[in-house]
A = this chain, B = another copy of it.
Amino acid sequence: MSAHVMPSAQYLYDLADGDASMKPLLGGKGAGVAEMMRLGVPVPDGFTVTTTACIDTMKASGQWPEQLWSQTLDALTRLEERTGRTLGGADKPLLVSVRSGAVVSMPGMMDTILNLGITDATVEALGAESDNPRFAWDSYRRFIQMYGEVVEGVPAYAYEDVLSGKKASRGVTQDTDLTVADLKELVEEFKDVSREHLGHDFPLDPREQLERAIGAVFQSWQNPRAGIYRRAHGIPDDLGTAVNIMQMVFGNRGDTSATGVCFTRNPSTGAKELYGEFLINAQGEDVVAGIRTPRPLREMESELPPAYAALLETMNNLEQHYGDMQDIEFTVEEGTLYLLQTRNGKRTAAAALRVVKDMVEEGVITREDAISRIEPAQLDQLLHPAIDASHGQKPITKGLNASPGAAVGKVSFDAEDALRRGKAGEPVVLVRWETTPDDIAGVIEAEGVLTAHGGMTSHAAVVARGMGKPCVAGASAIKIDPKAGQLTIGDTVLTVGDSITIDGSTGEVYAGELPLVPAQMNEDFATVVGWADEIRSLQVRANADTGEDAARAREFGATGIGLCRTEHMFMQADRLPVVREMILAGDDDSRAQALEQLLPMQQSDFEEMFTAMSGLPVTIRLLDPPLHEFLPNLVDQALKVQRLELTDGDEKEIAEERNLLRQVSALTEMNPMLGTRGVRLALLYPEIPVMQVRAIARAALAVTKRGGEPIVEIMVPLVAFAEELRRMRAIITQTLEEEFEAAGERFEYMIGTMIELPRAAIMSSEIAEHADFFSFGTNDLTQTGIGISRDDAEGSFLSSYADDDIVRANPFATIDAGGVGGLVRLGVDGGRATKADIKLGVCGEHGGDPASIELFNELGLNYVSCSPFRVPIARFAAAQALLKQQAASQNG
């Protein structure tokens, strides 16, 4: 913004003296109207009390600065001169609106007073001028009511009681049925009501009213709801608000007057076409009240041709000037067009894309502008089915919006049931307390998942996001009774087979079947995201565990797989028994046998991955979770054994189950997150990574033979010590060499590590000696760095921390830039100190989060990796991050 040097005591600006750059001083609305005036757009005249006046008043505990009132009177006098009208003048009275106007828009949060200037002395002149005494008297009683409520704090019911009484005594139901005489009586009665509550007469001097109205706007900055809004939106408390005093214009001064709203393009589709509504002889509130039906804007052409022409021209000018679709409020007063407001219009995701695409083609904006305009989170709408906006239903509860998109289906309480019914073609929604790896098959067949427990990164949430399947997690109000086949939320009871609708984009849950609209990944999307690709420097890869996911990721524009979680392959229903065999093997031989069985399964998985991603890198992470994740739950198993014991079960079965219990118990850890997993497990049981590496090697060789081009990156999880990686690298290299020797062929490969423990970040320069690449596992780095278990925390203290503003954002959704981001920075610096060109990426959930991507771009990482459905969003966000960084470096 340009610097305005201002005498310290200039608290007032005429609209004609302002412009858009003065927003900090004049507020958004004041600067906006001033800018319009500067552009020659017809707007009502007026002036603005600056934010500085508000700030100085707050600092002085409500005491106005010395010059403020006299400057206000001067500005008023100038306005009276320009308009040829006088505030309180019996002849040509000036009526004004008094509106708040903060630097950042806070819609509905603060106070507005309309029609200030109607008094006993002016009401008749107003009626005569408009040839509509009823309008004048109705405006007068409305003004007393509004002023009394907003400025003087008279309770609303006090006026409403009198108004209801009046209508009752006249035998009418609508305000509009009251006569001028009734309204005249009401004005006097409203004054009496005000006096009763104020303990003094209603102030009749419009200058006194103006002074008190400005003061009320200042105070409204500090009302509780405004404070809550600011905290929710991160707006500082000390900005203050400006106050805009503008001449009232009236759309209800007969048949050459009108009021309306229009968009410069269709906000629903983005098409460049006329879009708006108007009403002849009406005020803005008539449109809102819905008593009269507004008419399409096109019809204004015949009714008010000059004003219509002026509006079209103005719309075009404003759109060109702001370089974005405008949402405009206008009034025509006796044939003259006035714009009351223009702002960038809210729009659907599809429209957002269409608008920027068209505008680039029209030469209004650049591609860079286009990219900066798109809100990446909004694009999510396009990538998943959504609930049709017209449904009008109330949600029965709300959980976490864990995986976007909407789903409709019959309630199912267990994964096997969901699997069976889903396979049979019945749409089901799997409803669970929380999901476990055992539920995977059911999740695959379900339309969506609803859990009572767990957070944004719970098992259900991660799996669902990976599959692009809607999920509402942690809906703690739902009570599930699987035995009874019932789900209870407050008074609502749903049984197996009842329909339910979940919206994973909002977290809302509805009873019954709501209509959905399908995903719409269209040409505009492809075009605009293509521009993003030209701009961004961060590569975007996907996290995918199957060939199908990899293929989808590639469609969405992923240029590689950043994380293939081999354990998800272990958890497939047909493999779990073999995996358990391996874990429970009593000796090396039987373990070797089980691994021998798993090898071809893993190999075929990898062949699918390499084929789908031919020519692009695939990062395969060796087995990560602790072994007990593949076994039954300890409590369940202990209960099973006791049940068998107490009910005289089969001796042999008891012995077997006891044995399993012993093993589960031995493997169950107090804090599995910090336990024997990842590289630790691999070094204890090297036969497991050896099997996996063999499968990788054989798959890559097989795919090459079929003409594919696998690019292999092998990743070691949970490394804390350089020595761990050194040894794993030796094991991996040796295994690969054995396979190469056996096959008589070889391929290039990289070996790298996750950096997902604080120690690894700090000691990254040592670790880099054995790594071709680092992939920052920011999920785990968040867990260990902040000391929060994502399995536990979101349901408990973390949500209360977010509600209570102790943390700004959920650190699992958006990276904690200072703390966890600080660790990533240490990791990056250390890695590059050892190997200047070490490849660096991120494969945590943060890889798909725009705010986090900003940090990763700034750190100069090579890539982010996220779930396939987030890939387009990440591509946008990466481009935006770069543009933002460039802008900052130009300004800084």
Footprint of B on A, CB under 8 Å?
A: 634-635, 638-639, 642-643, 646-647, 669-676, 680-681, 683-684, 718, 720-721, 723-724, 727, 756-759, 762-763, 766, 780, 783-789, 791-793, 796-797, 800-801, 804-807, 816, 818-820, 822-823
Contacts and interface: CB of A to CB of B under 8 A. Distances in A.
- Interface centre among A671, A727, A763, A784, by most chain B C-beta atoms within 10 angstroms, is A671
A787 B757 contact: yes
A680 B816 CA distance: 18
A789 B788 CA distance: 13
Contact of A718 (B669, B787, B789): B787
A294 to B, nearest CB: 48
A271 B783 CA distance: 57
Contact of A785 (B681, B756, B757, B766): B757
B721 A792 contact: no
B789 A675 contact: yes
B787 A819 contact: no
A645 to B, nearest CB: 9
Copies in the complex: 2
A676 B757 CA distance: 21
A796 B681 CA distance: 10
Nearest to A647: B646
A822 to B, nearest CB: 5
Contacts of A818: 762-763, 766
23 contacts: A638-B638, A669-B792, A670-B789, A671-B671, A671-B674, A671-B783, A671-B791, A671-B792, A672-B792, A673-B787, A673-B789, A675-B789, A675-B796, A676-B792, A683-B806, A718-B787, A720-B819, A721-B807, A723-B805, A757-B785, A757-B786, A758-B758, A758-B784
Given A639-B639, A757-B787, A762-B819, A793 B683 contact: no
Contact of A822 (B642, B763, B785, B804): B763
> Chain A binding site: helix, strand, loop or mixed by DSSP?
helix
Contact of A758 (B639, B805, B823): B823
A670 B639 CA distance: 19
A806 B727 contact: yes
Nearest to A825: B762
Nearest to A454: B670
Nearest first, the 10 A-B pairs at minimum CB distance are A759-B819, A671-B789, A674-B789, A758-B758, A670-B791, A669-B792, A757-B787, A680-B797, A671-B673, A671-B671
Contacts of A634: 635
Contacts of A647: 646
A345 B472 CA distance: 72
A791 B671 CA distance: 8
Contact of A784 (B643, B676, B785, B804): B785
Nearest to A756: B787
Contacts of A727: 806
A676 B796 contact: yes
A676 B799 CA distance: 12
Contact of A674 (B638, B763, B792): B792
Contacts of A757: 785-787
A797 B671 contact: no
Contacts of A819: 720, 758-759, 762-763
Given A684-B796, A757-B785, 6 more contacts: A670-B792, A674-B788, A674-B792, A720-B786, A758-B819, A759-B787
Nearest to A787: B757
Contact of A800 (B684, B780, B783, B791): B684
Contacts of A724: 806
A129 to B, nearest CB: 57
B674 A762 contact: no
Contacts of A793: 674-676
A438 to B, nearest CB: 16
A759 B673 contact: no
A804 B683 CA distance: 10
A162 B806 CA distance: 84
Contacts of A723: 805-807
A759 B820 contact: yes
A177 to B, nearest CB: 53
B638 A787 contact: no
